[in-house]
Amino acid sequence: MHNKTIREAFQQASSFLKQNGIEDTLFEAEWMLRELLAVDRTSFFLMWDERLTEEQIGKYEKWVNRRAAHEPLQHIFGKAEFYGRSFRVTPDVLIPRPETELLIEQVIHLADDLFEKKPIKLVDVGTGSGCIPITFQLERSDWSISTIDLSADALAIAKQNAASHKVADKISFHQGSYLEPVRQQAVQVIVSNPPYIPSEAVLHLDDEVKKYEPHLALDGGKDGLTPYREITKQIASLPPVLKRLIAFEIGEEQGKEVADLVKQIPACSWVEVRQDMNDRDRYVV
Ligand code: GLN
């Protein structure tokens, strides 16, 4: 009796995932095999007819069963890709999303322009995995970056991620509510991808999100706008600065409401709702 080949394992996994309602089964069955074998796509397809070891088969079957129960692959692997880098994720933090990579991109462009590449002070509200502050610190090493989260568990993961990317002693981490921990600081850039799903709608999310991701990171209160209301209110009482940039990630139906909240910040001169890669409203800057 021979062990199964990579091709056989792939085909079995893919049809099992399909029976369990997973959509992109070919891609996912392949991704798990590449992760298992620690190879890139090119080498993977050259190994197609090699046999797996007993141990590899056991591990792969465990992963495939977890995925068939709709657990996110990022939880199964304990990591997610963001802005070309790897971040540790656990059920205590939101899995970084590609839309947030575009938030980073826009802030970098706007800030370079507005502050003429001078060192600035940036705060990120709602750290989660730490993907936002860590990416900024790696992309702009002279920025002074603070980040805040209500969850001590999330902060612990974010600090681990900062340590693996060697920026742990550059970023200041605070536990607290919205901007409270930095209320006496002259912050120039405020960024947040806060929880923005209305409480009731959280209960109707796909199992994949609802059962596995922290509701603290998803639930934005009755109408989903509570974090934007709180943050914009607190911005009004921060120490004044000459120029300030605010960038929020938002739910696709919240453009108008969030733009209205931002317009109410004293001396606000310009507000824009911007779209993500699927052309949905996703940012207010
Ligand atoms: N800022 C983190 C992220 O974008 C966490 C966001 C959240 O928990 N709502 O992934």
Residue 176 in this model has a pLDDT that exceeds 80: yes
Please tell me the distance from the alpha carbon of residue 182 to that of residue 176, in angstroms, as a whole number: 10
**Can you give the pTM of this predicted structure?**
0.94
pLDDT at 1 over 80: no
- Evaluate if residue 195 carries a pLDDT over 80: yes
- pLDDT value for 198: 97
Atom of ligand 1 nearest to the CA of 195: 9
Beta-strand ranges (E) seen in the chain are: 79-82, 85-88, 121-125, 144-149, 172-175, 189-192, 245-249, 273-275, 281-284
- Ligand 1, atom 4, residue with closest C-alpha: 193
Pairwise CA distance, residues 113 & 105, whole Å? 13
Instruction: Read off the pLDDT band of 8 (50, 70, 90).
Output: very high
Is the minimum distance from the CB of 251 to ligand 1 under 6 angstroms? no
Ligand 1 in reach of 224 Cβ (< 6 A): no
Confirm or reject: Cβ of 100 under 6 Å from ligand 1.
Answer: yes
State the pLDDT confidence band at 28, using cuts at 50, 70 and 90.
very high
